[in-house]
Amino acid sequence: MFQKLIVRAVLAVGLLATASAHAQLGGKLGAALSGILPEPSCPTHYVGGRAPQIVNPKLAPATRALCFNVFGVMHSGLTRTPLWSAEHLRADNIEAAQDLSRENSFHAEPRLPAAQRAELADYARSGFDRGHMAPNGDMPDRSSQRDSFSLANIVPQDGENNRNTWAAIEGEVRKMAKREGDLYVITGPAFLGANLRQVGKVLVPSHLYKLVYSPRQKAGAAWFIENSADAKPNVIPINELERIVGINLLPALAERDKERMLRLPAIRDNNGGKRGSKRGGRD
């Protein structure tokens, strides 16, 4: 199954180029970026202080690192979404977040060029949820909560997926962080296949992933799920996910370390259904 996904990922390269044209970046991209310097890569959010490295060169244009209080984002001006959002998720932050009521404050990211960022109008009447990559439920204070509602941290997500299976995955990660003390979590979209959609000027991901790495167990794994209503998550090794998405997500780890599987729980969605499977590792 996943070998087919890798082939489809190669086909998606052309779609990313099409998205660039739709966004009217094209040949103007270099000029638009010439005066923009990259921000720091937020080392505290990443294993070994090393941010992911883009392997597929078609994903690299118009990227910009954004640092927030408790998470970091690599934003793509082609897809107008994050390529990833990364958290060093600590148990004390989870405890603080439990006492914080939700205040929706979706907003365009002011640090991004207008020609490359998502706007609220892109999502209006789109039929998709504005799906958080670094979840609001992980945010320990109001400032961090507002950060999480930046559209730089958002992708168009199927509403049933977002509110049920994906919400259950996020909840399981928080439980794991409490048990482990801390986790490194990287969440992002995948754009696979030849029939990608857009909402406004924002590309809709075909799949989503959430990678979890435990420093205590020195092991990691990822949930990988189609961006659709009744999709079931698969649990896959880190290096398999990296091949699919074209990004070295944990460059601080040797390849043999990426093969050590962390046990991830089977997911019961918010409707009570059991989804996905566990593979390898130990709790």
71 sits in which H/E element: strand 71-76
| Helical spans, DSSP H, in the chain | 2-22, 29-33, 91-98, 120-123, 142-148, 159-161, 167-180, 238-245, 255-258
Provide the token pair at 46: 């990443």
Active site residue 132: yes
Phi-psi group of 174: left, alpha or beta (phi > 0 → left; psi -120 to 50 → alpha; rest → beta)? alpha
What does DSSP assign to residue 164?
I
Taking the C-alpha atoms of residue 270 and residue 166, their distance in angstroms, rounded to an integer, is 9
State the DSSP string of 229-274.
TT---EEE-HHHHHHHHTEES-TTS-HHHHTSBPP-PPEE-TTS-E
The token duo for 202 is 């924002």
- Helical spans, DSSP H, in 57-206: 91-98, 120-123, 142-148, 159-161, 167-180
Residue with tokens 């990227």, as numbered in its chain = 63
Q: Alpha-carbon dihedral of residues 28, 29, 31, 33, nearest 10 degrees? A: 160
Query: Of 45, 75, 88, 132, which is the active-site residue?
Result: 132
SS3 90: strand
Between CA 240 and CA 280 the distance in angstroms is 14
Positions marked catalytic: 132
